[in-house]
Amino acid sequence: MILLGLDPGLGTTGWGVIAADGNRLSHIANGQIRTEPGMQLPRRLTLLFDALTDVIRTERPDGAAVEEVLGNSNAQSTLKLGQARGVVLLAAATAGVAIGEYHPSIVKKAVVGTGGADKKQVQAMVMRLLPGVKLSGPDAADALAVAITHAHHLASQRALARRVAGAGA
């Protein structure tokens, strides 16, 4: 199963693609999509959508996962981040890709073991879980962490479904 992880942002959106075969994970690709702060918002959102559409077309994921947005003290920044997240969700949904959504603390807990992990700890564990990965940047590392989280959750769901099916037989 090919999974796409996405860490939305208006300035930089990270993306990461992994293959999940049972409990085995392997890195396929990762990158960052950047938009220029001086551009008009609609143009930035269009560039983000087009670039993500290209990634999805190239990588052909079976599923995707997106990190949820945390609010901050700047309402304008939070609104712009929410708009970028909406475009990320739209790009995946338009391509017909099923989407999971995870709170940042769930991602940190799944990858590092604690919901309060910092970015350096997440990056270190991503590199350990995906040996040989060359990270395109911190947002790409976060996106790979989201993909890893999604892989773990899907594996747990499949295992539970097998147990339930076995109990009913």
- Listed in sequence order, the residues at least 6 apart from 8 whose beta carbon sits closer than 8 Å to its beta carbon are 66, 67, 69, 81, 84, 85, 87, 88
pTM of the model: 0.92
Known binding-site residue numbers for Mg(2+): 7, 67, 139
CA 2: distance to chain centroid? 12
Annotated active-site residue 7? The verdict is yes
**Is residue 101 flagged as an active site residue?**
no
Burial of 83 (0-12, 13-18, 19+ CB in 10 A): middle
- pLDDT value of residue 164: 81
Q: Which of 67, 68, 101, 142 does the annotation list as catalytic?
A: 67
Q: How far is CA 139 from the centre of its chain?
A: 9
Q: Distance between CA atoms of 29 and 70, rounded to whole angstroms?
A: 26
Which residue among 62, 118, 139, 142 is the active-site one? 139
The pLDDT assigned to 169 comes to 62
CATH code where residue 93 lies: 3.30.420.10
Q: Which of the 8 DSSP states describes residue 73?
A: S
Identified catalytic residue from 7, 36, 68, 101: 7
Which pLDDT value is given to residue 129?
A: 95
Q: What is the pLDDT along the chain (169 residues), one digit of tens a residue?
A: 999 999 999 999 999 999 999 889 999 999 999 999 999 999 999 999 999 999 999 999 999 999 998 767 788 888 999 999 999 999 999 999 999 999 999 999 999 998 999 999 999 999 999 999 999 999 999 999 999 999 998 987 777 677 787 777 6
Residue 84: give the domain boundaries: 2-168
Q: What is the predicted pLDDT for the residue at 162? A: 77
For the chain, the domain total comes to: 1
Distance CA 159, CA 34 (A): 38
Q: Could you confirm whether 139 is annotated as catalytic?
A: yes
Known binding positions: 7, 67, 139
